Amino acid sequence: MSESQPSSLLPEVITTARLVLRPSRPEDAPDIYEKYARDAEVTRYLLWRPHQSVVETQAFLVSQIARRGSTLDQAWVLTRPGEDIAFGMVGFEVFDQATELGYVLSRAEWGKGYMTEVVSAISGLALANQVIQRVWAICHPENVASARVLEKAGFNLEGRLEKYEVFPSLGPDPHDVYRYVRTN
Ligand SMILES: CC(C)(COP(=O)(O)OP(=O)(O)OC[C@H]1O[C@@H](n2cnc3c(N)ncnc32)[C@H](O)[C@@H]1OP(=O)(O)O)[C@@H](O)C(=O)NCCC(=O)NCCS
């Protein structure tokens, strides 16, 4: 990477109306494990299975932290101001001038508008950065909450991709997904 290229597209800490987004730390493992990573209902439409122990969560965080800085990919844990307890995560993977978003939230926090707030903020900041022309996300067609989040955050449904992704909790066969996109 040349000197002039940024080491990250977006700030390490982002404040939204109700939340503080910050980089994950290995010490977040117990909160993340307890609050969502072990919950099969949370991981139903994700690309990973529920974690079996906090050790698995810690290993995930360690590998996520080790990759930091080697790509433009970024991830943040969701916390409330003054509390600093991780109860969700949002991240993106960069592909040239596009980026794919992923997100997850503790079940206890569902339905409060948190992820709409976060996805709106992250996608808006990414598009304001000029490098990124397109932010996209996929979701299982039955994942109504995720589709609503994307619609409320200004994404448009781009299409239904057939037999696109294997969801480990749903079996070995690939499922169709909806792809949503937000552009400037
Ligand atoms: C998807 C997820 C992040 C949503 O987070 P959230 O903070 O609860 O979302 P919000 O509160 O901002 O918005 C959810 C919207 O979905 C709607 N919704 C939720 N469940 C629904 C259902 N079964 N049927 C219809 N609408 C539903 C809510 O009513 C709300 O829409 P509204 O504001 O128009 O009423 C959260 O449910 C989650 O973590 N799920 C498990 C992980 C996951 O699926 N991640 C996304 C992978 S693509």
For 69, the domain range is 14-183
Confidence band of 40 (pLDDT split at 50, 70, 90): very high
Q: Atom 32, ligand 1: which residue's CA is nearest?
A: 148
CA dist 102 to 1, 4, 58, 110, 117, Å? 25, 28, 19, 16, 14
Task: Report the number of distinct structural domains present in the chain.
Answer: 1
pTM for the full model? 0.96
CATH number at residue 27: 3.40.630.30
- The answer to whether residue 147 is domain-embedded is yes
Measured in degrees and rounded to the nearest 5, phi and psi for residue 130 equal: 80, -40
- The answer to whether residue 22 is domain-embedded is yes
pLDDT at 130: 84
CA of 10 to the centre of ligand 1 (A): 25
- Number of CB atoms found within 10 A of residue 56's CB: 17
Q: Atom 35, ligand 1: which residue's CA is nearest?
A: 111
- The answer to whether residue 8 is domain-embedded is no
CA dist 46 to 12, 79, 167, Å? 25, 21, 6
> How many helices (H) and strands (E) are present in the chain, helices listed first?
5, 8
CA of 164 to the centre of ligand 1 (A): 22
Q: What does the pLDDT look like over 60-101, one tens digit per residue?
A: 999 999 999 889 999 999 999 999 999 999 999 999 999 999
- The answer to whether residue 4 is domain-embedded is no
* Mean pLDDT over the full length of the chain: 95
* Burial grade of 51 (CB within 10 A; 0-12, 13-18, 19 or more): buried
pLDDT at 2: 42
Amino acid, single-letter form, for residue 38: R
How is residue 170 annotated by DSSP?
G
- The answer to whether residue 49 is domain-embedded is yes
Cα 69 to chain centroid, rounded: 17
Q: Atom 12, ligand 1: which residue's CA is nearest?
A: 113
Q: What does the pLDDT look like over 96-129, one tens digit per residue?
A: 999 999 999 999 999 999 999 999 999 999 999 8
Q: Which residues of the chain form beta strands (DSSP E)?
A: 14-15, 20-22, 74-79, 88-95, 98-105, 134-139, 156-166, 174-183
- The number of CA neighbours under 13 Å toward the Cβ of 148 is 10
Confidence band of 184 (pLDDT split at 50, 70, 90): confident
Confidence band of 4 (pLDDT split at 50, 70, 90): very low
pLDDT at 5: 53
Binding pocket residue ranges, ligand 1, CB within 6 Å: 42, 45-46, 103-105, 110-116, 139, 143-146, 148-149
- The answer to whether residue 2 is domain-embedded is no
- The answer to whether residue 92 is domain-embedded is yes
Residue percentage of the chain with pLDDT more than 70: 97
Question: Helix, strand, or coil here: 165?
Answer: strand
- The answer to whether residue 71 is domain-embedded is yes
